[in-house]
Structure 1
């Protein structure tokens, strides 16, 4: 503090952002893509692009799903029916196959070692006809999980790492507000081709442009994992977190068992109508049937998201054989409602396409803010050691940061584009297909990282950005050439989730190609004519 409060905040702002900046860029990029994870998943299943889009009453769609499940999964333990929506036009029926039973009546896999495998089918909501089995893929869910589970590592450790990075991000934002006394004036100031000054202006503009969003998304991101970081309240009142989440979500208790007595399942449509009437006509989002065909069958109907800001949706539990209402959950407690609203703000399931697009643009602004902050530090350090570098000397720390910047900022778009290309080029029927797509994502990113660390030059920046731009810009062509609804068809038939994906990838590809073209101009990296702005840049 001997240099003054603002100078201390500047130091804190610099290092709290730099040390976790590359991880934050991944989290921001994957999280921003996850706003449209349903649209991404639909694009990555071209077999579903021809599903009917005529509005169909939910009772009709649910009746078709019940008929199929009674025919194909009569002995299953659970049914899951995802109702059609604007973002997911088909009806998805999934089920958990029944456990094999030993001669003594006990389940052979009473203690399973991992998650049980689901089986599923996609139905046309209007006719009930089963659509062509779509290719197996994680789709947009991969980016959703990647932004807090990081893949290929323990989820608990990954979430702690992301939590620490989010805390550092919050510190960087607050200290940045203190540091930049001309924060609103800088919002209207951008001086291109001025070296360090330009990077500082770009960092200020992208930070201030979506400052409320940056504060909200960072804080609510911590709230989504609050039970991991602060579990003591739950531990004091519940013997286990599983019991807590069972009560919170009105879920079936873990020790619930079928009666072993056959009983026909009541029609689901009347239960759906009763639940919708209780929600003032709001549609259902998901129907879960536990122990279908058994005397202990229950039906849980949850309201479709998008009606309120809160993440938690009301649901109703019915007796599966009589259709009698057993319970109704509204999540009206102050603490539960607060958490639900903060969680809902983070994932933005409540938003319409326009508002979701604004969230997406704000997420891109966050990516740009992190990227320009990392580049600004490198530019400042290069100016400090300009004389030594001009004489052929080396700065190992600066070279490492340059390589990581190229790998994280320019290499990640290449990896994301390769994930989409792998989805269309890998054989549709290959075994372990979702894992193969994800593997190509990390292979592409690993290759770009190795090349970038070996030669972190401006030419490498240009090559990486150009490669990412070409791969993204050609995705609409790849879509039409591999069985998907090409751009003209998707627009003509109102298939906006697919058309929107193609248009966004075209825009991203164009932006990356423009950045690569701009790097041909040496003026972007020339030194400013005025004195260094080290104090102000801090």
Structure 2
């Protein structure tokens, strides 16, 4: 604090942002994409693009799903039925295969996988088996599980990074004397001043969003970071979440007595009426065909800000209502609202687009902050660099900047290209798609670390831009509903994906073109290094 409070905050802002900046850029990028996880998943399953139909009563769609499950998964331990929505036009029926088949205990092979089928909600016919893919769920999980890591360690890392981010935002607010004036100030082609202006504009433009998304991101994992309250009142977290979600206890068992499952349609109608006409989003059937069968109805997301949706539990044989989630307490409701704000399932298409743009602003804020540090540091050591001396820390940051900021778009685009170019029936297909994401990112990162130059920025941005801009054409050539067909049929999730990727591709190509313009290099070596830094 010797240099004054604001100077101390500036130091804290710089280092709290730099140390976790590259991880934050990945988290922001994947989290921003996850706002459209359903649309991404639908685009990555071109076999389902033909399922766009006018909406039908939920009772009709559910009846089709129940018929298929009774025929194909009568001995399954659990059914899941995801009802159609504006973002997901097909009915998805999933089931957990029975542990025993023909009286023989099945040998465990890792985690038991769910089997599923996609149905046309109008006719009930099974759609062409869609290719296996993680789709948008990959980005959703990546932004807090980091994939090739222990989920616990990954969530701790992301949580610590979010805390650093919160510190950086608050210290940045203190540091800027003219925070609102800076919002209207941008001076291009002014070197360090331009980078600072870009950082200020993208930070202030979506400042409420940045504060909200960072704080609520920490709240989503609050029971892992601060488990003591739950531990004091519950013997295990499983028991706590069972009570929280109105679910069956973990030790619930079938009775072993066959009994027909009651029709699900009347239960859906009763639940929807209790929720003032709000549709059901998901139906979970435990022990179908057994005397202890139960049916859990969950309301479709999008009717309230809160993450936790009302539920109703029915007896699966008689159809009698057993329980319903009551009015939550203040603490539960607060946590639910904060969680809901973070994932934005409540948002309509316009609001979701605003969240997406704010997320892009967050990516730009992190990127410009990292680049600003490198620009300032290069100017400090301009004379030494002009003499040909090397600065290990600066070169390391330059390489990480190129690999993280320019490499992530290349990796994301490669993930989408792999979805369409890998054989649809290949085994372990979802993991193969994900591998191509990390292969593309790893290759770009290695090249960037070997040669972190202006030319490398231009090459990687141009590559990412071309891969994104060509995705609509790839969609049309590999069996998907092309842009014209999707717009005409009202299949806006697919059309929106094509339009957004086209826009992102054009933006990246524009950035690469701007970098291709020769910089004005002055005669002295120090001036040359300063110009290159700008």
Mapping of 1:52-67 within 5 angstroms?
52-67=52-67
Q: 1:396 to 1:214 in 2, by over 3 A?
A: same
Match of 1:312 among 308, 319, 322: 308
Match runs of 1:259-274 below 5 Å: 259-274=255-270
In structure 2, the partner of 1:166 is 162
> Is 1:22 aligned with 2:22?
yes
In structure 2, the residue matched to 1:115 is: 111
| Mapped contact 1:59–1:269 kept (Cα < 8 A) | yes
Which one is further off, 327-336 or 155-164?
Answer: 327-336
Q: Does 1:466 align with 2:465?
A: no
The answer as to 2:382 corresponding to 1:386 is: yes
Native 8 Å contact 2:52 2:491 kept in 1:
no
TM superposition score normalised by structure 1: 0.96
Find the counterpart in structure 1 of residue 530 from structure 2: none
1:116-515 equivalences in 2 (<5 Å)? 116-515=112-511
Residue of structure 2 equivalent to 1:37: 37
Deviation at 1:174, TM superposition (A): 0.2
Structure 1: distance between partners of 2:119 and 2:199: 48
Partner of 2:6: 6
- In structure 2, what is the equivalent of residue 95 of structure 1? 95
DSSP 3-state at the match of 2:253? coil
Is the CA contact 1:193–1:524 (under 8 Å) kept in the aligned structure 2?
no
Structure 1 residue ranges (4+ consecutive) displaced by more than 2 angstroms after TM superposition? 112-115, 521-527
Q: CA RMSD, aligned part only? A: 1.6
Distance apart, 1:523 and its partner CA: 4.3
CA contact (8 A) 2:52 2:489 kept: no
Contact 1:192 1:524 in 2 (8 A): no
Aligned length: 524
| Deviation for aligned residue 1:456 | 0.2
- 8 A Cα contact 1:61 1:125, kept in partner: yes
Cα drift, residue 52 of structure 1? 3.4
CA-to-aligned-CA distance 1:81-137 (integer Å, 9 cap, x gap): 00000000000000001112797x9x777xx68532100000000000000000000
Is the 1:266–1:320 Cα contact (8 Å) retained in structure 2? yes
Helix, strand or coil for the counterpart of 1:50? helix
**1:389/1:444 CA distance change after superposition, 3 Å:** same
Aligned in 2, Cα 1:240/1:193: closer, same or farther, shift over 3 Å? same
Aligned 8 A contact 1:313 1:330 in 2: no
- How far did residue 55 of structure 1 move? 1.0
Whole-angstrom distance in 1 between the partners of 2:522 and 2:501: 32
C-alpha change, 1:436 and 1:524, in structure 2 (3 Å) is farther
The answer to whether the Cα contact below 8 Å between 1:52 and 1:126 also exists between their aligned partners in 2 is no
**Which whole-Å CA distance do the structure 1 matches of 2:282 and 2:223 have between them?**
25
Classify 1:281/1:525 alpha carbon distance in 2 versus 1 (closer, same or farther; 3 Å). farther
DSSP-derived class of the 2:60 partner:
helix
The whole-number CA distance in structure 2 between the counterparts of 1:102 and 1:494 is 46
Distance 1:385 1:253, change over 3 A: same
Q: Is the 8 A contact 2:32 2:360 kept in 1?
A: yes
Distance 1:333 1:29, change over 3 A: same
- 1:453-508 deviation line (CA, Å, top 9, x unaligned): 00000000000000000000000000000000000100111000000000000000
Distance 1:50 1:108 in 2: 37
Deviation at 1:393, TM superposition (A): 1.2
Q: Distance in 1 between matches of 2:38 and 2:266?
A: 28
Distance in 1 (CA, whole Å) between partners of 2:129 and 2:81 is 16
- Residues 121, 525 of structure 1: alpha-carbon distance in 2 compared, 3 angstrom cutoff: farther
Structure 1 residue runs of 5 or longer lacking an equivalent are: 532-538
**Can you list the C-alpha shifts for 1:224-265, whole angstroms capped at 9, x where unaligned?**
000000000001111111111111011111111100000000
2:211 and 2:417 mapped to 1: Cα distance? 34
Counterparts of 1:92 and 1:468 in 2: how far apart (Å)?
33
From the superposition, tell whether residues 430 and 525 of structure 1 become closer, same or farther in structure 2 (CA, over 3 Å): farther
Q: Distance in 1 between matches of 2:400 and 2:520?
A: 20
User: C-alpha separation between the residues in 2 aligned to 1:465 and 1:435?
Assistant: 26
CA distance in structure 1 between the partners assigned to 2:522 and 2:412 by the alignment? 31
Aligned-partner Cα distance in 1 for 2:224–2:191: 43
> Contact 1:285–1:302 at 8 Å: present in 2 too?
yes
Distance in 2, matches of 1:369 and 1:455, equals: 24
